[in-house]
Structure 1
Amino acid sequence: MSEPRYKLHWVTVLVETLKALKEAILPLAVVLFTGSRNNTSGNWFLDNWSLVFGGVLVIYLLSSGLIKWRRFSYWFEDGELRIESGLFVRKKRYIPFERIQSLNYTEGIFHRPFGLVKVQIETAASSGGEAEAELTAVTREDADIIKKRIAEGKKRKSQEAESEFEEGMEHAEEELSSEEPEAKRVFSLSPKELILLATTSGGIGVIFSGVAIFLTQFGELLPLDKVSDELAGLIKFGVFVVVLLILLGLFIAWLLSVAMTFFSYYGFTVRVSDEEMIITRGLLEKKRTTVPLSRIQSVSFIENPLRQLFGYGRLLVHSAGASGEGSTIQLFPLVKKKSLYAPLHEIFPGLDLREPEEKLPKRGRKFYYRIDFLWMIPIIAVVGWYFYPYGLFSLLLVPAVMGLGMWQHRSAAYRIVGNQVTIRSRGISLQTSYTMRKRIQSANIRQTIFQSRKEVASIHLNVKSGMGTHDVTLRQMDLKEAERLLAWYEPSHEVSGNGHEEGFVDLEK
């Protein structure tokens, strides 16, 4: 029996065209600005070559969206999702149902008025933040059909491998698999938490990075000489006016970062079923990300100094083979530490969230800041010499770096309970990592000749994160304790008591 072929919605033309124009905005701007300067040769084509070239490029970009819509189709056959696309070069992609890990939905501003979604199909081979396949615009009904067919295909594959099931039981289970598994809501951002998240986010750095990229691309085309003359004129009015303008610019950038975060995390909700977590968020563009529980490798709770003052932090999970949202996923972008246990216990019932109590030895404290003197001393010497006497203020770097190192040493701790290791460390933010023994890909101890004299060492635990690894590190640990942790990791090592394994599922499964 032949399967029907499904087509994308016509909104695909608009979405793909705007996407192509967005990606080509820089070369288009460069061509138009550069060509507009040379228009005195007397030859119409030479004087207007930039307009001709830009027009041809725009026509090509407009036609690319139309071509994708007309020539893109997908269908289900032999336990696979099959996709065919392309005009001159026809591309066919076959994705077996059992290889599909998750389906992520996105509702953009062009999708929502028509009840459409963008579907991203992820497999273990997805990398670089790119999904294995993408359906630009399909109806919600078609998206549900895709999910239903994939679930049925996986169930049928499992049933074929288990011959002991009776035929009647197989039909009953097949009907049950077609239903959407009930997902329980375990976490959502309150309006107060959303505002706090937006006001304490680091989005202002993204804005400044975007401005810097723009200036590097179009610095030669902008009238920077006139701007510098105007700035020189402003300086004549006094330093107060200049400082006021700088503060105003920073305030506007901060407001933009608050707005970006607010729109991005509006309606943030986490739901969990027996096999997966579903994360939804967004105001203008609503995103739905599915994270299989079997792919979760490690959990980390991050507290930056500002949020730590109010008792807040963010919870990250590291996923194997993830894309789209990335291998590091913000499970709870902002959560009160006292309220962390209840929602996290719903997802990982066996996770031990007690604070680590094993501290580091004092003899390893100086290693947290001694190495920094290698770069501090030359900088202090140069600044102090050329900017004397004000350059001597650079000497304040010494107590600042020493204080940071002692703070890092004091914050570090660990705990081993059953089959779980909890490691707490600090750069500037405090990070507490919860990792199961079977999730660790490799473990090693590193020790320099200076550390060997003090009998301390650094231990590194590597867990799967995307297509790479996430390094959980504890520096300047007592050597005997580091060796004990390494022996605990050995596959032949048996752990007695409650290993708390039910919260994580083996990667091989």
Structure 2
Amino acid sequence: MNTPPPLDAATEQRLHPWSWLFVLLMQLRQGLVPLIALVVFGQRGDRDELWLSLGPVIAVVALVAYSVLQYLTYRYRIGTSAITVRSGVFARNRREIPFARIHNVVVHQNPLHRLFGVAELKLESAGGHRPEAEMRVLKLDQALALERLVRQRGQAVPATAEGDAAAPEPAEDVLLALSPGEVVRIGLLSNRGWVVVVAVLGAMVQLFPRGSVSDVIEAGGRQAFGYASHLHPGMWLWTIAAVVAVVGFWVMLRVLSVVLALLRYYGFRLSEHERRLTVASGLLTRMRTSVARRRIQAWTLRESALQRWFQRRQLRIDIAAGNPGEGERRDLRELAPLATPAVCDRLVQHLLPHLQWPPARWQPVQMRGWWRLCLGALCLVPLLTAAAIWYGGPWGALVLLWLPWSAFRAHRQMARIGYHLDDGYVAVRGGWWQRWWRFAELDKLQALRLTRSPLDRRLGTASVWLDTAGAGMGTPLALHYLPEAQARAVYDQLGRALAKRRLRW
């Protein structure tokens, strides 16, 4: 994506002339199932009823007409402080979108976009569940120029249109760029291949009649075992065959993971420009999304056991945004999909220079309640063992071996739990096999909660929950298993910091 030319902000502008085609393709994709149903039921109707056979054609013609009308009625004008969008086929709408309200600009290019040299642009606000404006589609240089304009005029001191047009574009400061080899490593160190396996199994269950999939698998298994039995294999050959099958399946998962990683992260580049972070990535579908640094609410570092052995971890952020779960990955969430611990720490230190990261010392929690982390296994495993012995005989007692492993894992997890609190930020850490660190600036806290479960009251402990804007369904920002007096002291300290923030408002 090259440096774009300046925009003409004097008159209203239209979308790309081929915009109607992309809108039509989107409509066809969303209405594919109804169209197929219309074709099937139309073929089953009376041959004299032409409208049944012409139904799909009429539907497609109506979608084409709607797409062309949407292109003809969509206009936008670039002002000094806002973008004005006029749209609507039957009901006319006019929207004023201030530059200061736009927190994220997404430039999206799928392979068809790249073939036509166009891009889809979305303007998103902090509190909206849908984009403030969706422009399908613009010329690529026009979309990049509009992204640049939003980035410039969204600063605290807006500039004039003439000044923006004449000002040279400063170079972006590249904070992280992943080579193709590093992207391949992302796939090798992840389990993304399971996504494809589960999707294929789900599609087979949906497309084929009930029971046919299991019948095919059973027939194939019988044929394979029947062929193998004619060879009269011994125990060693069966063992080798089982090992080869497991290794082959594992290799297939790694290959699928690498393919998915290349499709998503190829050409990954994190850059900074005028206190705004921008990420561009993707092999076939290119995605360019950005966010202002002030919108970042919380930070999460995570590493699996496999990633830790290869000295790699991930860096993710929560941002003050709308609903991120509407099916399309739009928000900037990953600052480092995979990087060394030193690189992740340098990114945090660069973006939060007023904070000390990593903390010099972590406050541990008491170890006497470590068993509560394996309480579920202590209750469930004996029941599973009894059921296994009932159905499988004495060999079912092997299920009890899960108890010592669960106890060992719980003890190690409790030993790693800790927190850090100072005048600038609060941080928590946890996990043993899958380790994580999560922290947020005190200025970004939205609410506090102090909770005590019945088990907490029995052990004299409590938990402090910290809410930030944009927090997802992942690891919560919470301080668990603290002594009650310590938890109340932490709650009071954070409450005073939260009160100071409200006074500044």
| Same fold flag (TM > 0.5) | yes
* 2:88 matches 1:86: yes
* 2:131 matches 1:126: no
* 2:386 matches 1:381: yes
Q: How do 1:417-432 and structure 2 match up within 5 A?
A: 417-426=422-431, 429-432=434-437
Q: What's the counterpart of residue 47 of structure 2?
A: 44
Asked if structure 2 preserves the Cα contact closer than 8 Å seen for 1:14 and 1:65, the reply is yes
Q: How do 1:189-204 and structure 2 match up within 5 A?
A: 189-204=178-193
CA distance 1:20–1:400, shift in 2 (3 Å): farther
Q: Distance in 2 between matches of 1:263 and 1:173?
A: 40
The offset of 1:301, in angstroms, is 0.6
Q: What's the counterpart of residue 73 of structure 1?
A: 75
Q: Distance in 2 between matches of 1:472 and 1:107?
A: 35
Q: What's the counterpart of residue 283 of structure 2?
A: 283
Gaps of 5+ in 2: 1-8, 230-237
Q: Distance in 1 between matches of 2:416 and 2:29?
A: 45
CA distance 1:468–1:384, shift in 2 (3 Å): closer
Q: Distance in 1 between matches of 2:80 and 2:350?
A: 37
Q: Distance in 2 between matches of 1:462 and 1:425?
A: 18
CA distance 1:248–1:24, shift in 2 (3 Å): farther
* 2:203 matches 1:214: yes
Q: Distance in 1 between matches of 2:498 and 2:383?
A: 48
Secondary structure (helix, strand or coil) at the match of 1:369 reads helix
Q: How do 1:289-304 and structure 2 match up within 5 A?
A: 289-304=289-304
Q: Distance in 1 between matches of 2:444 and 2:367?
A: 31
Q: What's the counterpart of residue 354 of structure 2?
A: 350
Q: Distance in 1 between matches of 2:252 and 2:32?
A: 25
Asked if structure 2 preserves the Cα contact closer than 8 Å seen for 1:319 and 1:466, the reply is yes
Q: Which of 105, 108, 111 is the equivalent residue of 1:109?
A: 111
Gaps of 5+ in 1: 160-169, 496-504
Q: How do 1:351-500 and structure 2 match up within 5 A?
A: 351-355=355-359, 356-426=361-431, 429-465=434-470, 471-491=476-496
Secondary structure (helix, strand or coil) at the match of 1:389 reads helix
Question: Match for 1:230: what amino acid?
Answer: A
Secondary structure (helix, strand or coil) at the match of 1:397 reads helix
Asked if structure 1 preserves the Cα contact closer than 8 Å seen for 2:446 and 2:498, the reply is no
The offset of 1:366, in angstroms, is 1.3
Question: Match for 2:226: what amino acid?
Answer: K
Asked if structure 1 preserves the Cα contact closer than 8 Å seen for 2:15 and 2:71, the reply is yes
Deviates further, 272-281 or 218-227: 218-227
Asked if structure 2 preserves the Cα contact closer than 8 Å seen for 1:364 and 1:456, the reply is no
Asked if structure 2 preserves the Cα contact closer than 8 Å seen for 1:152 and 1:177, the reply is no
Asked if structure 2 preserves the Cα contact closer than 8 Å seen for 1:100 and 1:122, the reply is yes
Q: Distance in 2 between matches of 1:75 and 1:404?
A: 60
- C-alpha distance after superposition, 1:273-321 (max 9, x if no partner): 3321011111212211111111111111101111011221100111012
Asked if structure 2 preserves the Cα contact closer than 8 Å seen for 1:125 and 1:132, the reply is no
Asked if structure 1 preserves the Cα contact closer than 8 Å seen for 2:442 and 2:497, the reply is no
CA distance 1:275–1:242, shift in 2 (3 Å): same
Q: What's the counterpart of residue 18 of structure 2?
A: 11
Question: Match for 1:206: what amino acid?
Answer: V
The offset of 1:393, in angstroms, is 2.5
Secondary structure (helix, strand or coil) at the match of 1:354 reads coil
CA distance 1:176–1:18, shift in 2 (3 Å): closer
Aligned Cα root-mean-square deviation (Å): 3.8
Q: What's the counterpart of residue 31 of structure 2?
A: 24
Q: Distance in 1 between matches of 2:475 and 2:331?
A: 10
The offset of 1:492, in angstroms, is 5.8
CA distance 1:81–1:243, shift in 2 (3 Å): same
TM-score of the superposed pair, with normalisation by structure 2: 0.82
Asked if structure 2 preserves the Cα contact closer than 8 Å seen for 1:31 and 1:54, the reply is yes
Secondary structure (helix, strand or coil) at the match of 1:311 reads coil
- C-alpha distance after superposition, 1:196-238 (max 9, x if no partner): 1022223223213322432343233895486256324334334
Q: What's the counterpart of residue 310 of structure 2?
A: 310
Asked if structure 2 preserves the Cα contact closer than 8 Å seen for 1:301 and 1:432, the reply is yes
The offset of 1:249, in angstroms, is 5.8
Secondary structure (helix, strand or coil) at the match of 1:136 reads strand
Asked if structure 1 preserves the Cα contact closer than 8 Å seen for 2:205 and 2:213, the reply is no
Q: Which of 222, 226, 237 is the equivalent residue of 1:236?
A: 226
Asked if structure 1 preserves the Cα contact closer than 8 Å seen for 2:15 and 2:74, the reply is yes
The offset of 1:470, in angstroms, is 7.3
CA distance 1:53–1:179, shift in 2 (3 Å): same
The offset of 1:373, in angstroms, is 2.8
Question: Match for 2:112: what amino acid?
Answer: F
The offset of 1:397, in angstroms, is 2.5
The offset of 1:260, in angstroms, is 1.6
Secondary structure (helix, strand or coil) at the match of 1:490 reads helix
**How many positions carry a matched residue from both structures?**
480
The offset of 1:26, in angstroms, is 4.2
- C-alpha distance after superposition, 1:105-156 (max 9, x if no partner): 12222233443222110112322xx42221122124422443455467556x
Deviates further, 377-386 or 280-289: 377-386
The offset of 1:81, in angstroms, is 1.7
Identical aligned residues as a percent: 19
TM-score of the superposed pair, with normalisation by structure 1: 0.81
CA distance 1:377–1:31, shift in 2 (3 Å): farther
